[in-house]
Amino acid sequence: MSEIADPLVLDFVEWVAREPRAYAEVIATWKTSCPRLTIWEDAAEHGYVARETLPGIGLIIAVTEGGERFLRTNGR
């Protein structure tokens, strides 16, 4: 990886990697009103996390293979 990892994006991806999170939980926990703190959006844009719908559970956020690679590359 040629770019420096944003520590907050790294923390976010690591948090999601522990277990798939309900979309509502992700939005409530990582919500920010600062346009410069786009942690959730940056992680999704880079392909580290993705939205999935699970039957009986609903919309969740889960780490992708790219997200797992991102964590390993950055020692997490």
pLDDT at 3: 56
Q: d(Cα 66, Cα 71) in Å, to the nearest integer?
A: 9
For 7-41, give the DSSP string: HHHHHHHHHHHHS-EEHHHHHHHH----TT--HHH
User: Angle of helix 23-30 relative to helix 7-18, nearest 10 degrees?
Assistant: 150
pLDDT digits (tens, 9 = 90+) for 6-17: 899 999 999 999
Single-letter residue type at 38: T
pLDDT digits (tens, 9 = 90+) for 41-75: 899 999 999 999 988 889 999 999 999 999 999 98
pTM, rounded to two decimals: 0.83
* CATH fold group of domain 7-73: Arc Repressor Mutant, subunit A (1.10.10)
